[in-house]
Structure 1
Amino acid sequence: MADARWIYDLTIFLYAASVLFYFNDFLQSNRKVNRLAFGLLAVVWALQSAFFVSQMAEKSYFPVITLFETLFFYSWVLVTLSLVINYFFRIDLLVFFTNVIGFVVLVLSMFLPETPLTAVSETLTSELLLIHITLAMFSYGAFSLSMIFSAMYLLQHKMLKEKRWTPLLRRLPSLDMLEVYAYRMNVVGVPMLLLAIILGIIWGKLVLPEKFWLDAKVLLSILVLGAYSYWLYKRFSDTWQMRRLAQFNLTAFLLLLVNFLATDISKFHSWL
């Protein structure tokens, strides 16, 4: 791992530079700075991918087991999704806000130990568990983008209500498009999280005590799934205003963060 550490350190440095350039573009709407920030972000994605591949080569499992690995993978998912969506839809502000989160997540991983290979139990590295975690991370990425679209919706709604015709307002997609994007991300995230929970339950039935499903982390995961499913139901039933849906989406994401970070509340997720 020491041989690949320079890749990780360089990734942090370039990621910080990219986010700072995006912040400059956010303040001044500078296209040259924006292109530079995007180019650096593409390099960051390449370096993250290289580091991830080096981990797979060194370890005997898909590296999404420890908290260091899951944070790194979550950051990689956010970078990947922001690059893909920006390629198709050209929403610069989405890339900026997404990678503020991605950078913070990556920085958090700096303070965590890289668990040695021998410290990871073979029981934990079953294929079911690895797929369970991978699907959960991709669903978290989709929900993160959905939250950002809802936050942008609320920001634009407030600016329109206050008649603040700023350059920032012109760079935001329409309210209708922001709501549609948030909806699409939740449509992707909910079935992914559902599959992740199902696979986690199957894995738990095989290796954990009988009453594992009463664990706080399991119950909180089901609550998160219920919150986003309720959001989809309300969106389809058309009984809530779009602004209220956006507010609920932000609340659901806060619940998701609690579920992701509060591993100490679980008896068997504390190994992350």
Structure 2
Amino acid sequence: MSDIFMTRLHELTIVVYAASVLLYFIDFLNSNRKVNQVAFWLLAFVWVLQTLFLFFYVVEVRRFPVLTLFEGLYFYSWVLVTLSLAINRLLKVDLIVFFTNVLGFIIMAIHTFAPADYGSNVMSEQLISELLLIHITMAILSYGAFSISFVFSLLYLIQYDLLKRKKWGRLLRRIADLSKLEQLSYLLNVIGVPMLLLSLVLGLQWAWIKLPDMAWYDAKIIGSFVVLAAYSAYLYLRVARGMYGKSLALLNAASFLIVLINFFLFGQLSSFHLWYE
């Protein structure tokens, strides 16, 4: 598949994605159901375009595309779009798609300026294995779950503030009740934590086999375990200590900040995750 076609497909995806986010923003401000429906179908078209891009990319490089920063960001964005569409249809949580896809569009924008290594990196090609692919894929899926959980916590904090200030309006009615937002945020973290744990176990096992001289104090490894510890603390406080409410939502938001730092900053500082350079 020609690079020109892939570039044009990516450009079209960006344009349609921007239009969808813009329409969701208009709906967010004015509560227009027709605009909301158009935005939703544009987002569904974005998902189709992203899926096509991933399919052609897999054909091009002959492997699952998660081994470089360019690939990881695109797959992360695809996961966010997929989850937001599914949640919107299955759970009918209003505004979740808008907030999730503001984040997704930012990821896409960062991806646009990431180095596009189409399998040319010799190191990446030598280190490919099924274990590595499963490790990276599961890590990104867990980050997707944490991302949607963060959006639910963000909506919780907005709703909490509106109720506290007694701002009875359309925005208050469109956001789900606090208990539902908190429960959905918790369930996504219940999914994300074991998935991240399994990813780390597989990644360490792969590194033990392939890179016996690797430095185990690598920034990305430490960062990943900090992420796991933060979300494990969230689950412990929620289940064992019975913590609820605003404090738990703030903790979840802070944990997601660690996810972003680990994904973007520690990945660049890492001497181990060479395929992200």
TM normalised by structure 1 equals: 0.97
Which blocks of at least 5 consecutive residues in structure 2 are unaligned?
none
Deviates more, 1:2-11 or 1:78-87: 2-11
**1:198-256 deviations in Å (ceiling 9; x for gaps):** 11001110112445322121011011101101101110023433211101000000011
1:31-46 equivalence runs, <5 A? 31-46=33-48
Q: 1:168 aligns with which of 168, 171, 176?
A: 171
Letter in 2 for 1:74: Y
Q: 1:155 aligns with which of 145, 158, 177?
A: 158
Letter in 1 for 2:32: N
Q: 2:94 aligns with which of 92, 95, 102?
A: 92
Q: 2:145 aligns with which of 118, 126, 142?
A: 142
**Equivalent position SS for 2:65:** coil
Within 2, Cα distance between the matches of 1:177 and 1:47? 32
Q: 1:14 aligns with which of 13, 16, 19?
A: 16
Match of 1:268 in 2: 272
Match of 1:114 in 2: 116
Which blocks of at least 5 consecutive residues in structure 1 are unaligned?
none
The CA RMSD over aligned residues, in Å, is 1.2
Within 2, Cα distance between the matches of 1:232 and 1:82? 23
TM normalised by structure 2 equals: 0.95
**1:166-207 deviations in Å (ceiling 9; x for gaps):** 210000111000000001100110011011101100111011
Match of 2:79 in 1: 77
Match of 2:238 in 1: 235
Structure 1 residue 124, shift from structure 2 partner: 2.6
Match of 1:196 in 2: 199
Within 2, Cα distance between the matches of 1:183 and 1:33? 31
**Equivalent position SS for 2:63:** coil
Corresponding pairs, count: 272
Give % identity: 52
Contact map agreement 1:190 1:229 (CA 8 A) in 2: yes
Structure 1 residue 270, shift from structure 2 partner: 4.1
**Equivalent position SS for 2:157:** helix
Within 1, Cα distance between the matches of 2:127 and 2:15? 32
Contact map agreement 1:204 1:212 (CA 8 A) in 2: no
Within 2, Cα distance between the matches of 1:239 and 1:210? 43
